[in-house]
Amino acid sequence: MTTMPAYKAIQKGAMTKELISEARSLFSQGLVERLSAHGLDIVESHAKGAYLYDVDGNAYIDGYSGASTYNLGRKNTSAVEVLKQSARETDHGNFVLISEEKATLASRLADFISGDLSCSLFTVVRGEAMDAACKLARGYTGKTELISVDGGWYGETGFSMGLSDRGDKKQFGTLIPGQTIVEFNNIDAAQKSINHDTAAFILEPVQAENHCRKADEKYLRELKLLCEHFGTLLIFDETQTGFGRTGHKFAKDYYGVEPDILVFGEAVTAGVFPMTGLVFTPEVKTFFDAHPLIHLCTFGGHDVGCRVACHMLDQYDAKRPWEQTQKTGKRLMDDLRSLLQDKPEVLDSVSGMGLLVSMRFKDRDVAKDFCVAARNNGLFVVQGAVAKESVVLRPPLTITENEIDQLTDIVKIVMKKI
Amino acid sequence: MELAYHGHSGFSLSVGGKAYYKELFEPLMPGCRLVPFNDLPAIRAIASKRTAAILLEPVQGEGGIHVATDAYLQGLRTLCDELGIILIFDEIQTGFGRTGKIWFSEHSGVVPDIMCLAKSIGGGVCPNGAIVYRDTEQLAGYVNRNPFFHTSSGGGNDISCQVSSKVIDVLLERKLWENAEMMGTRLKEGLTRIMENNASIIKEIRGKGLMIGIEYTQEFMGVLMADCLSNSGIFAAYSGNAPQVMRFMLPLTVTETQVDEFLNRFKKAVSIQRLYLFFLLPLSKIPIVRKWLNEDDILIPVNVLLRKFGM
């Protein structure tokens, strides 16, 4: 058990200033300005559990967790050992070949994820996993249309960007044709758009970047029926909701709705190694039976990464962090909701599920000010990528109740400053 | 470019040159057009002020080891400068010393506007990838105004960055591109000697540094040779986009003894291949049989059958 660092207002130190100033020429002036304006001008030195430390020794609660990836805590000790040992014993292998590592992870995932999602494909980044899912849906169904919902965010590659609710995507030209976005949680809108040419309906059960907006249970159940009726695949992106984040192994388990393809994120290695992927049903796999090696990825199914992921699945099974997350998540949510009365003119609502919690402010400037004040008081948080007036709190799932209280105390201090 | 290979996600697939990877997933991005590689008039005919970028691998890897000529790359640079087009080199396979220079672009002296890096940047240990771009107002200015235009949670992760920095250190300390140049020449000369004695099997040896392609006389031979080589203890892949071409991308640290050992095994594999061909070559003269042989679905069972007879 590590001791919790006491709350201390942050002193921006010389090291941080120096490195930030170096970043101006290496990356861009704009980046540095943007980071500073949004309370993201932190230069990490090391991290442990729910905390990260900057190069000047200031401690922060990690309220971002690498966008919901460090579910089992920063710098997970045994994960580091497995990573070191694996790197000594193997390397990334050969992506065209089968390996024991890939096979072991695939079979572990089939056991770990409930239901019929027993086949897998490994990728490196979220967007690529979503692109592969869309391709699989088009390939399997022989149909072209892809439908998603407003408020979604799936990554930065071709297919995923087109499906995301992203204001500036037009600057990248005409993206993948045949992609439609309909209103979230509106079954009539879904019904109007789905037809016999729809390959897939794609959504996140909880939209992390959009004020953690949740799908209605009824909506998902009806959507599933609708998809079945039209021979459309249902794709869940559980990049941010998977591996216990919502207080359930996967959000689909809470809803009791089974997708045909599920995209999972870096939480599969608990953020220790870059790896994402998708799992799908044996029925959908028949496409790959007929068309092997049609989606390749040099680093997908990296042998070192697979070993790390297998170890993390053992840890997930042993610790069952989703159980603790139900308690800590509720505690966090209740505490934050109690703040709603204090400053209703600034804080508009609190929503989410488990330890994926969002505070929505009056506008994006207030949200930005919140992040800056949080940074200055030892809490690292980031605004929602879609709902920029929201700030998402997603600490490692290993965070203790005491640490949650400390987080809430910081939020209270911050609320007084904005 | 025709025969190009840039990856499997949305944008990259859309500019890819192999139908198998694309056709079942269409429609892909509109506004991407393919032209023949090393053909300047062809690209001149379609490039305009509306063209955002010209994108190519300076040595087409999957496409079958086609090396861009200096004149072609210089011609592209001039064309891009004339029309305000961004020139992008995908140096994912050619970069980090593979072709006998740190970057392929050094051979011709043509500097692209954007260069894509991946694969060897991770030293076989950690996934990583990057683009580097020229410090021009157009490019750096855009990034400056849109610092979050492309984010990636795994991209530039701290562990991979440490590994990649070390990869660069080792590359520079050991001047591995010099070894790539020397060993590449040794390998190419050895393979050329084998080709001279086996003209019915090997059509051409080409490439640069340790990025070498062997073109067989017929498409089905790539698959067969992969099998013969694996029986002789060499793991080799035929090109995804050109199955009659096999690529050899030995590690840049390879030694003379290893290259010679490789050549011995290769020679052995060619003699096994000759046995196969004793049956297959006469058959392949019949057009319909040749067509069948060039289909993986048919060739693989044939191969398995031949093996049953102890071949």
| pLDDT for residue A407 is more than 60 | yes
Work out the burial of residue A362: count CB atoms within 10 Å of its CB; fewer than 13 is exposed, 13-18 middle, 19 or more buried.
Answer: middle
For residues A390-415, give the mean pLDDT: 97
At B161, list the tokens: 């960055």
**Mean pLDDT in residue range A113-126:** 97
pLDDT digits (tens, 9 = 90+) for B100-112: 999 999 999 999 9
The structure tokens listed for B279 are 């049956």
- pLDDT number for residue A96: 87
What pLDDT is recorded for position B291? 75
Q: What is the DSSP letter of B242?
A: E
pLDDT of residue B31: 94
Nearest CA to CA, how far is A341 from chain B (Å)? 34
The token duo for B30 is 């509109």
In a mutagenesis test of the B interface, which of A121, A125, A153 is the best target, namely the one with the most B β-carbons within 10 Å?
Answer: A125
In terms of CATH architecture, what is A14-68+321-417?
A: Alpha-Beta Complex (3.90)
The burial of A246, by beta-carbon neighbours within 10 Å (0-12 exposed, 13-18 middle, 19 or more buried), is given as buried
Q: Which residues pair with A358 in a beta bridge?
A: A351, A392
CA distance A218 to A222: 6
- E strands, A228-365, are 233-237, 261-264, 276-280, 347-353, 356-361
Using alpha carbons, list the distances in angstroms from residue A73 to A2, A238, A304, A342, B104. 12, 19, 20, 32, 42
Cross-chain residue pair A91–B8, CB shorter than 8 Å: no
Nearest CA distance, A346 vs chain B (angstrom): 27
* Model confidence band, residue B155 (pLDDT cutoffs 50, 70, 90): confident
Dihedral through CA A357, CA A360, CA A366, CA A371, nearest 10? 10
- The mean per-residue pLDDT over the stretch B4-25 comes to 96
What pLDDT, on the 0 to 100 scale, is given for residue B156? Answer: 87
Side chain identity at B237, as an amino acid letter? A
Contact B143 A28 (CB under 8 A): yes
CATH for the stretch B176-308: 3.90.1150.10
Work out the average pLDDT over B122-142. Answer: 94
Q: Do domains B10-173 and B176-308 have the same CATH topology?
A: no
The C-alpha atoms of residue B137 and residue A356 are separated, in whole angstroms, by 40
> Where in chain B are the domains?
10-173, 176-308
CATH code: domain A77-319 is 3.40.640.10
Contact partners, residue A379, CB within 8 Å, separation at least 6: A60, A61, A63, A407, A410, A411, A414
pLDDT in tens, A158-206: 999 999 999 899 999 999 999 999 999 999 999 999 999 999 999 999 9
CA-to-CA distance for B267 and B11, rounded, in angstroms?
Answer: 41
Q: Hey, of B9, B12, B33, which one would you mutate to test binding to chain A, going by the most A CBs within 10 A of its CB? A: B9
Q: Indicate the DSSP class of residue A78.
A: H
Q: What is the pLDDT of residues B237-283, one digit of tens each?
A: 877 778 899 999 999 999 999 999 999 999 999 998 888 888 777 77
Backbone φ and ψ of A46, nearest 5° = -150, 175
User: Mind telling me how many Å the CA of A117 is from chain B's nearest CA?
Assistant: 22
Q: Is the pLDDT of residue A1 over 50?
A: no
Q: How far apart are CA B145 and CA B164, in angstroms?
A: 27
Q: Which of B8, B154, B158 sits opposite A297 (nearest CB)?
A: B8
What is the CATH T-level fold of the domain B10-173, as seen in this structure?
Answer: Aspartate Aminotransferase; domain 2 (3.40.640)
Q: Where are the domains of chain A?
A: 14-68+321-417, 77-319
Q: Which two tokens stand for residue A340?
A: 């709603």
Cβ within 8 Å, pair A158-B25: no
Lookup: tokens for B170: 């080792």
- Distance CA(B179)–CA(A5), nearest Å, equals 52
Contacts of B42 (CB under 8 A, 6+ apart): B35, B36
CA distance B135 to chain A (A): 10
Q: Using the structure block, give the residue that is written with the tokens 């979220």.
A: A126
A376-388 pLDDT per residue, tens: 999 999 999 999 9
In this predicted structure, which of A45-59, A276-290, B64-78, B283-297 has the lowest mean pLDDT? B283-297
Check if the interface score ipTM surpasses 0.90. yes
Yes or no, beta carbons of A173 and B52 under 8 Å apart = yes
Quick one: average pLDDT of A77-83? 93
Tell me the two tokens of residue A112: 């770990």
Q: Quick one: which of A332, A408, A394, A386 has its CA closest to A69?
A: A394
